[in-house]
Structure 1
Amino acid sequence: DVVEIEAKLDKLVKLCSGMIEAGKAYITTNKHFVSGVRDLSQQCKKDEMISCLDKFGDSLQEMINYHMDSACGVTMIPTISTSLGFSDVRKFKETKKQFDKVREDMEISLVKNAQAPRHKPHEVEEATGTLTITRKCFRHLALDYVLTLHAVLFQPCLYFSPQMLSFMHAQYTFFQQGYSLLHELDPYMKKLATELDQLVIDSAVEKREMEHKHAMIQQRDFSYDDSKVEFNVDAPNGVVMEGYLFKRASNAFKTWNRRWFSIQNSQLVYQKKLKDVLTVVVEDLRLCTVKPCEDIERRFCFEVVSPTKSCMLQADSEKLRQAWIQAVQASIASAYRESPDSYYIERLDRTASPSTSSIDSATDSRDRNVKGESILQRVQSIPGNDQCCDCGQPDPRWASINLGILLCIECSGIHRSLGVHCSKVRSLTLDSWEPELLKLMCELGNSTMNQIYEAQCEELGLKKPTAGSSRQDKEAWIKVKYVEKKFLKKLPSGEALAENERKPRRWCVKKCQRNNSTTKAPTARRKYRHEAGNASPAMLSSGGNLPSSGEAEIEQEASDLEDLRELHPGLLIYKAAQARNLPLMAEALAHGAEVNWVNDEDENKTPLVQAVMGGSLIACEFLLQNGADVNQKDSRGRAPLHHATYMGHTGQVCLFLKRGANQHAVDSDGQDPLSIAVQAANADIVTLLRLARMNEEMREAEGPFGQPGQYPSNSPTELQYKKCIQEFISLTMRREC
């Protein structure tokens, strides 16, 4: 019986605990439901029918409170039952063990008393005494055992009956209170039911009216509705203007998607759907410009240009386009009127989206990080690059890639407004950097370029702006420095140049380390150079394979040495390109040298061809960044790609292909770059040219605007080919740099 009572007691405690947990879950779920009812009621305060939910929610909340009060009595049952019932059972078990032990002792005493011999009185006396003591102890423990057993068998009713009685009273109170509460709501619910019936009738009438209006609207002809075109810079909610615009994607297909745009908080943002997360197009309107675009096929287009990207947008009508342009311009003006926030500018510098205006690269995103140290650390380690080139603000994170200087975010915005013909801005932390471009930045730097563009700054007595100067002062300084170029050292006059032309000139070029990949390359290169291009590919191939490195040794006879600084800018950049002297090339461009200057006395060759002859990949990159024509031919019909192939400069070939060189062009001998590379047996260049040609064929196989053409586009095989091409070009450029 005790075992069964213990099992049933344990089962009851577990059932009670389960009921309590289920009750807690039920109450929690009810609370959530009531909260949802109240939220809906708050959302629809103006609707009288829905506002009744607030009253219902209050009543349901009262019911939950009643339920919680009734459950309080139940929660104590497992604790009381466990503490009282289980303690009695444990006490009973301990008493039973003691009783069994004494009973065994008494059995032993009885046996010993029966075995005591008659002729040994002392043993008889000892056995009798032991039996008496044991029998007395046995009767005492037997009484305790019976009392404990009685408590276990008959006391549980005393433990559970009061708790169950309290639970039943709580249930009675709960249902009685619930009835009273809902009984008070009965008149209101009957009234609400009557109103709902009338609402159904009114809804049917309104539906018929709407169907009639819809039929009338179908007979009308609508054009674009521009009646509500307006913007408000001082709008209370901060939204200057909003509406739908078409946005051109930055992918290769240039698809157009309709998005909901808005101008708010000095930012241009959009979202796909009304409740979607906002996507920021322009972080700070103070750094952007807006202009209409008439040179594309679509109508009503305009472009928003910022230091980090260019966004092409299309409105539904001319009136809407003008309104958006005016809204952006008004927002820019309003942003300038506000006090500058240095913290916000710093955040923009670190979180702006990657630039889309910079030159595209075929390298994979995995090549963005430079091994060993970051791009920022590498470029900032150049002398003078620890602060902005124009205002001195520390830790600059933007660069002008064609000038080779570092800028703060405010100066970068001013540079951006000068146009890409003057300065090309890119972020050091957000944009992808090609190896050749990174090496170009390390070749120049703020100190070198300031020696050119600020050579006579102190002599003119002009004060350079600081980091705390106003934007107007910085903008005026930058325009005077890079556009008007008032701080440059004056070149010799025309008479001095003519006089210097008659004097023997000398100039010296520091030799670069020779590539050890072959021992015959310098001979082949000098032969190609001195014979002015007369050497055929077969002749070059007979002299051995040319190395792929873009860094070759330049040797000049003493009689040919000149002082480059006394030449006019065109000839200066021409000779400096072959000498791989980037600071001198930058100085020549600063003095107005034509980057595509043609030397009539040297087969109409350009500075880019001279950079190829000099074997410098970085000099070629510098000229291309400053607008050099990659397909300009000399008098023999040879473009820079032809010369790079003849010279065996793999890095330059890869660079020209990335910059859009035409590999199908033939020279006066009828040779295209691929045939030249095949005859010269240069495996790397042949591979590059064939991969590039394959890439062109895959692009031509696509239809207009990226649509599938004659062959299936973006198939797994094609994607693998494109990935292979990109990785090969990336590895080649990293090796060459």
Structure 2
Amino acid sequence: MIDTGKAFCAANNQFMNGIRDLAQYSSKDVLVENSLMKFSETLQEMTNYHTILFDQTQRSIKAQLQTFVKEDIRKFKDAKKQFEKVSEEKENALVKNAQVQRNKQHEVEEATNILTATRKCFRHIALDYVLQMNVLQSKRRSEILKSMLSFMYAHLTFFHQGYDLFSELGPYMKDLGAQLDRLAVDAAKEKRDMEQKHSTIQQKDFSSDDTKLEYNVDAANGIVMEGYLFKRASNAFKTWNRKKPDHIRRWFSIQNNQLVYQKKFKDNPTVVVEDLRLCTVKHCEDIERRFCFEVVSPTKSCMLQADSEKLRQAWIKAVQTSIATAYREKGDESEKQEKKCFPSAGSLEPGSESKEKLLKGESALQRVQCIAGNASCCDCGLADPRWASINLGITLCIECSGIHRSLGVHFSKVRSLTLDTWEPELLKLMCELGNDVINRIYEAKVEKMGVKKPQSSSQRQEKEAYIRAKYVERKFVARHLASVSLPEDGASAVPQHQEEKRHSSSERSPQADKHGATSPKVRSNDSGIQQSADDSREHLASTISANSLYEPEGEKQEASVLCDSKQLPPGLQLYRAAYKKNLPDMAEALAHGAEVNWVNIAENKSTPLIQAVLGGSLVTCEFLLQNGANVNHRDVKGRGPLHHATVLGHTGQVCLFLKRGANQHATDEEGKDPLSIAVEAANADIVTLLRLAKMNEEMRESEGLCGQPGDEIYQDIFRDFSQMASNNPEKLNRFQQSDSQKS
């Protein structure tokens, strides 16, 4: 009974735990939760009382009766055994006494003495045995009645405690019963109302859907609009999953200036558009499905389908309104940040300590914005621009960046200064140019023509017209090169002193007649060029020097030479500037219509990109590539930019060209590809890069069309070489220096 009672208490405890769990699941219903918790506490008290009852039962009945059985009855059994033994001995003495012959007097006396002693012992033991029987009987009655009386008192206490406990709970149970009666009445009334509504809905005509969805940009929870939409797959096949429509139907919402969706209720939201200001929305009538619309962002597009035409119109209007709201909110935030981060223009003067400090900082935004003029948008003047055109070298606000994207990548390549990853050579390219430099080129005739430059508050149409006239039509570029003609053979009508200087520069160029046979003088000069390019202050000084080119009064000899170079045809100007590493002059040549792949027939059909390689500047190569230079164009000797960079040992340029898709299998007129040239020159770094690129290419080919774009280790190694080429070029010249010392 005690063991079963303990199992009963354990089951009751499990039952209490279940009630508590049910109360937690009903946490949103205060009445249910409070009632269940109160009942569970009361029942738990009853279970505790029951446990106490079984403990008292064990002490009162089990312990006492076990003591009676184990001790008192054992003593009685011992006395009984002794009595039976003495009785047997007495019987034996009587038998022996009867068997003795009367003529044997000695034996008769001995048998009589034994019988007398045995009888005496028997009477003593018998009396003790009877005593033990009487004591046991008396104790048996006492122990049993005492145990049962204690057990009954324990039961009395148990039920008395239970009665008191439930007496206290009685008023609460009575109130709860009254509430349940009211709930039953309310439930019956609600049931009748629902049945009436159901009957009304059944009689309603749904032939025309009159659903009206409204959006709220000022919603308290921040959700402008939400609902289910079908989403087309974003893979290469662009399919709708017809077998499992639940795989493409998602819960979309517009919140926090973002478009997000969830697959399931508890899943984390997946962001479709990071910033609504970067996207646009449009109807899609040219696909097989109805009610479709497309949300287009700079990096991807998302095709969505609503359930009806009214739903589609509501979503499109909600997205458009959210875009407009995001512009207003971000505009106010930008003004506050501009006042906080850029209190005055004096702190951004060229050569200042704060500018130099920012130039060496970790943030791409800080490094680019510290250049003169970059603290405001190049086209509308809005403060704190977060976007940049990497082929023009300018910073842009969010709205102007969207307009630049619409021009096409052949005019402007837009990248975020905060969201995208920036290669070191791109950052240095941005630091070499800047808004002031580019505006002096592309806005040279704005004031003369009386054109009003749009402001940050101007309409988008006005900004778009101005930007298109500025960069596509180039209406405001000073056309001072129109009178200069270029002979068909590529040699320009250049003053003789400049022509001689060009030939002397060509003779001094570090291009060897044989692969790997470069002079020590040229190698050390190349190392010096890269060391100079690594210094941030040199970049700053270069930018300042570039800005001074457009000042009417130049006193330096270099400025006068460059001013003379402006009389060159655009193609030749770009060609010369590429070798001199003068990015502002190159940008001006491109603005005047220079062909980025212009071929100088007079100098072995060399291109500006090849001249940039010979000049030893990684940033110049990056600028030309960003503006569409052909990385695989070869000169009259069959050597492309990759060949020349390999011959000269320019590891950073080799890395750049391989990343831009240079053909490493192309051979020159001697039948040598870049890898064989690097092996002959014993340049371990370039050999490593070329072999890695070849291995990666073979891996992609083996994986087929669906293969990965490249091995991660390969990408990491090329990233490390790019960082070193931009920040520590002297480390990549260790082989050239050792060759120089040997020679």
Please classify the TM superposition score into its range, dividing by the shorter chain length: 0.5 to 0.7
- The equivalences for 1:700-715 within 5 A come to 700-706=701-707
**Could you tell me which of 475, 479, 482 is aligned with 2:471?**
482
**Could you tell me which of 242, 264, 276 is aligned with 1:273?**
264
Separation of aligned partners in 2, 1:278 and 1:449: 42
Q: CA deviation at 1:380?
A: 1.9
Distance 1:508 1:487, change over 3 A: farther
**Counterpart residue type for residue 720 of structure 2:** E
Separation of aligned partners in 2, 1:614 and 1:482: 28
Which residue does the alignment assign to 1:403? 392
Q: Is the 8 A contact 2:282 2:316 kept in 1?
A: no
Q: Secondary structure at the match of 1:462?
A: coil
Q: Is the 8 A contact 2:377 2:384 kept in 1?
A: yes
Q: Is the 8 A contact 1:291 1:302 kept in 2?
A: yes
**Could you tell me which of 724, 728, 735 is aligned with 1:735?**
728
**Counterpart residue type for residue 631 of structure 1:** N
Distance 1:704 1:231, change over 3 A: farther
Which digits, 9 at most, give the CA deviation of each residue in 1:24-80, with x for residues without a partner? xx99997774353253xx6xxxxxxxxxxx87556446658989999xxxxxxxxxx
Q: CA deviation at 1:564?
A: 2.3
**Could you tell me which of 435, 451, 465 is aligned with 1:462?**
451
- The equivalences for 1:229-244 within 5 A come to 234=215, 238-239=224-225, 242-244=228-230
Distance 1:328 1:373, change over 3 A: same
Q: Is the 8 A contact 1:547 1:649 kept in 2?
A: no
Which digits, 9 at most, give the CA deviation of each residue in 1:291-346, with x for residues without a partner? 8999xxxxx99975435xx1254679xx9999999887655544466584234785
Q: CA deviation at 1:703?
A: 4.3
Q: Is the 8 A contact 1:485 1:590 kept in 2?
A: yes
1:174 pairs with 2:165: yes
Separation of aligned partners in 1, 2:320 and 2:705: 40
Q: Is the 8 A contact 1:545 1:681 kept in 2?
A: no
Separation of aligned partners in 1, 2:380 and 2:441: 16
Which residue does the alignment assign to 2:601? 600
**Could you tell me which of 492, 495, 502 is aligned with 1:504?**
495
Unaligned ranges ≥5, structure 1: 1-25, 43-53, 71-166, 196-226, 251-255, 295-299, 351-368, 512-521, 708-712
Which residue does the alignment assign to 2:297? 306
Unaligned ranges ≥5, structure 2: 1-14, 47-157, 188-207, 242-246, 286-290, 338-357, 533-556, 731-743
- The equivalences for 1:337-736 within 5 A come to 340-343=327-330, 346=333, 372-494=361-483, 502=493, 504=495, 526=508, 529=511, 535-537=513-515, 539-540=517-518, 549=527, 551=529, 563-706=564-707, 723-724=716-717, 726-736=719-729
Distance 1:666 1:550, change over 3 A: farther
Separation of aligned partners in 1, 2:284 and 2:230: 18
Which residue does the alignment assign to 1:354? none
Which digits, 9 at most, give the CA deviation of each residue in 1:382-436, with x for residues without a partner? 1112222122222222211111111222322322332222222222233221111
Which residue does the alignment assign to 1:262? 252
Q: Secondary structure at the match of 2:495?
A: coil
Q: Is the 8 A contact 1:261 1:268 kept in 2?
A: no
Which residue does the alignment assign to 2:105? none
Larger radius of gyration: 2
Separation of aligned partners in 2, 1:646 and 1:525: 16
Tell me the TM-score normalised to structure 1 length: 0.57
Q: Is the 8 A contact 2:510 2:614 kept in 1?
A: no
Q: Secondary structure at the match of 2:452?
A: coil
**Counterpart residue type for residue 250 of structure 2:** W
Tell me how many residue pairs correspond in the alignment: 518
Q: Is the 8 A contact 1:631 1:639 kept in 2?
A: yes
Q: CA deviation at 1:289?
A: 3.8
Q: CA deviation at 1:625?
A: 0.8
**Counterpart residue type for residue 484 of structure 1:** E
Q: CA deviation at 1:243?
A: 2.5
Q: CA deviation at 1:612?
A: 1.3
Separation of aligned partners in 1, 2:309 and 2:667: 48
**Counterpart residue type for residue 638 of structure 1:** R
Distance 1:722 1:293, change over 3 A: farther
Separation of aligned partners in 2, 1:479 and 1:290: 22
Separation of aligned partners in 2, 1:411 and 1:591: 23
Separation of aligned partners in 2, 1:510 and 1:468: 50
1:36 pairs with 2:62: no
Q: Percent identity?
A: 49
Separation of aligned partners in 1, 2:471 and 2:271: 31
Separation of aligned partners in 2, 1:509 and 1:304: 58
Separation of aligned partners in 1, 2:311 and 2:721: 44
Q: Secondary structure at the match of 1:566?
A: coil
Q: Secondary structure at the match of 2:272?
A: strand
Q: Secondary structure at the match of 1:675?
A: helix
**Counterpart residue type for residue 439 of structure 1:** K
Separation of aligned partners in 2, 1:405 and 1:510: 32
Q: Is the 8 A contact 1:412 1:425 kept in 2?
A: yes
Separation of aligned partners in 2, 1:527 and 1:484: 37
Q: Secondary structure at the match of 1:239?
A: strand
Distance 1:728 1:320, change over 3 A: farther
Separation of aligned partners in 1, 2:38 and 2:584: 83
Which residue does the alignment assign to 1:78? none
Tell me the TM-score normalised to structure 2 length: 0.57
Question: RMSD of aligned C-alpha atoms?
Answer: 5.6
